Chains A and B, each alone.
Chain A
Amino acid sequence: MSSSMIGLLAFAALFGLIAIRVPIAIAMGMVGAIGGLAINGFDSVAFIMGSIPFESIFPYSLSVIPLFILMGVFSAKAGLSRALYDAAHAFIGHYKGGLAMATIGACAAFGAICGSSLATAATMCRVAMPEMRRRNYDDGLASATIAAGGTLGVLIPPSVIMVIYAILTEQSIGRLFAAALIPGLLATVLYMVAIRIKTVHNPEQGPADERVNWPDRIVAMLNVWPVMVLFGVVIGGIYGGWFSPTEAAAIGAIGAFLLALFKRQLNVKTFLDCLGETANTTGMIFLILIGTAVFNYFVETTGLPQSLVSHVGELGWDPYVILILLIFFYIVLGCFMDALSMILLTLPFIYPLITSLGFDPIWFGVIMVSVVEVGLITPPVGMNLFIIMAGTPGLKLQTISRGVVSFLCADVARLALLILFPALSLWLPALLMD
């Protein structure tokens, strides 16, 4: 049997294992090992299984991942989400759908110090959902707003998924963060527009709140200074050339820790909870990295990525047609898989193809993260939907699924804008780093 055929069978086995709930890291690792055994023999696999688990974790650049996770966990614990929500509400809460728009604004700001979609969604759910329910907001709109807002945690830097993309494709983390900033703000604006359109046509879904006077607005703004300082130090530090992304993550983690301490949100129990949460996410991500490394070793030996590139080249299709097909593929895949697994599973194939088509890897990174982020709110496996449902008694999947439709339209519009105008992603990194 040829290597390519073994590769294709391995892919079928991989998807079969994933479908019956084998953890994705284990499925990739075992399929990679067994496939490698079939092609290269025992000695090669024994060497790979002995060396890859070390080499895939050892690079210094990977230290940025758990440090950003730690920063996000401490930020979530620091109770900053309440202040962010109050500040956004003070300015736009009096419009129809204002509370929902405030939630999106708060999610965007929280995403700027958190870097995790799930943490952003879970944290904002605790703050915003009871408020919106109290003001008679439609459950579908309220829950979908938080789910969609949570995705901004992935897009607005710092973002753990972007760090992983940058490391795997050997791109600059700072450049990728800069490229994602405007698309992140664009997503925020488009989500707000979606809410506005929805509530103008259905005012009963998001009734207007009372207008907040200016002194209270100023007080609310002053309360969010820790977020501004933390974001300014982390992101400003990277672009100011003061420190590397890893150092920025370490300083951000200390800053978030001190904020949580200063706000009296940390005691021994909550501190250990933070460590447990960080350990869970760290263990999960690093095991996927190990599984992916073993799988990638196997994929390289099958020659499938090169075959894919040459086959697609022979088709002679317009690169943008291929890109749109890829985006469609990711949106469908996103209905069944989580963002990180999708990126790690497909990148060995897709990345050579994209670069061979002449697309900018940084620009594609933003597109890819934007697309997989859509998967976080598409049923049936939208992780953010489950997070919101877990934190909201009585909320049904049908209700929240109905609500996300308008946000998905906003996502499609954003993707179209990013494809039509690459400068939306590439202008800022060129300005800051060239």
Chain B
Amino acid sequence: MIELLKKKLSNITKYVAWLGMFFLLAAMLITTTDVVLRKVDNEGIYGTIDLIQLMIVSAAYLSIPYAFMTKSHVSVSILSDMMSPRFAALSQLLATVLGFCFMLAIAWFGYTQAQMQNEYGDISITLGIPMIYYWAPILFGSALSAVVMVFIAVEQFPIILTGGPTMSSQEK
């Protein structure tokens, strides 16, 4: 069950990250095209900055859950390497609880801000893109990260209880 959930969550975060990276590729293409057009025609793509900002925000926030899932976020492991598996799992549990709180707080309070900006009809400066489009990847990425944190926390329980391997590795 846990193994199946891990596989599904890994796939979801990976596809979401790829989606984010396609936004980054789009930003790369738009920026380059803009430069070329400016040099050739003296007139670039209208509203490039608005588009790039939208794409970079999307790329960043859609990548964060994947980085959590692959445990790529930077941490210092000197002390935890010296701890017993049970204590290391406890510190990992604390890290995931804090991570969950942080990402949930971003999603929760961000939703309030997004809703407010939507009600006010806030738009981007040049192209007039509704700001809610900028908020969508932020809210989705942070909520998905919180879900990943819950999963990683659940994974720690068997180690804490028995000092043994994670549920997913037991199922393997």
Contact = CB atoms under 8 A, between A and B. Distances in A.
A30 B77 CA distance: 19
B31 A21 contact: no
B60 A280 contact: no
Which of A54, A276, A341: most chain B Cβ within 10 A?
A54
A20 B62 CA distance: 27
Contact of B31 (A49, A59, A247, A280): A247
A185 interface: no
A355 B85 CA distance: 46
Interface in B1-59: 14, 17-18, 20-22, 24-25, 27-29, 31-32, 34-35, 39, 49, 52-53, 55-57, 59
Interface residues of A, number: 60
SS class of chain B's interface: helix, strand, loop or mixed? helix
A74 B63 CA distance: 18
B17 to A, nearest CB: 4
Interface stretch (A139-147, A206-214, A332-340, A419-427): A332-340
A250 B38 CA distance: 15
Interface string A293-337: 000000000000000000000000000000000000000000011
A240 to B, nearest CB: 12
A19 B53 CA distance: 35
B110 A54 contact: yes
Contacts, number: 200
B73 A282 contact: no
B143 interface: no
Nearest to B36: A251
A63 B52 contact: yes
B64 interface: yes
Interface in B53-103: 53, 55-57, 59-68, 70, 72-80, 88, 91-92, 94-95, 98-99, 101-102
Given A63-B52, A290-B106, A279 B17 contact: yes
SS class of chain A's interface: helix, strand, loop or mixed? helix
Contact of A49 (B21, B76, B77, B109): B109
Contact of A50 (B65, B70, B75, B110): B110
A58 interface: yes
Interface string A61-74: 01100110010000
B78 A381 contact: yes
A46 interface: yes
B138 interface: yes
B166 interface: no
Nearest to B80: A21
Nearest to B141: A283
Contacts of B109: 46-47, 49-50
B60 A22 contact: no
A145 B17 CA distance: 34
A336 B75 CA distance: 10
Contacts of B98: 17, 22, 26-27, 30
Contacts of B24: 66-67, 70, 278, 282
A261 to B, nearest CB: 13
Contacts of B31: 63, 67, 246-247, 250-251
Contacts of A62: 56
Contacts of A47: 109
B105 interface: yes
Contact of A243 (B17, B18, B35, B76): B35
Contacts of B68: 283
A286 B60 contact: yes
Given A60-B49, A282-B21, A336-B76, 5 more contacts: A26-B98, A49-B106, A53-B138, A275-B22, A276-B14
Interface of B: 14, 17-18, 20-22, 24-25, 27-29, 31-32, 34-35, 39, 49, 52-53, 55-57, 59-68, 70, 72-80, 88, 91-92, 94-95, 98-99, 101-102, 105-106, 108-110, 112-113, 134-135, 138, 142
23 contacts: A17-B95, A17-B98, A19-B79, A20-B91, A21-B95, A23-B95, A26-B73, A46-B109, A46-B112, A47-B109, A49-B105, A54-B138, A57-B57, A58-B53, A60-B52, A251-B32, A254-B32, A276-B14, A276-B18, A279-B59, A279-B62, A284-B72, A284-B73
Closest 6 CB pairs of A and B: A283-B67, A283-B63, A50-B109, A250-B31, A279-B17, A50-B113
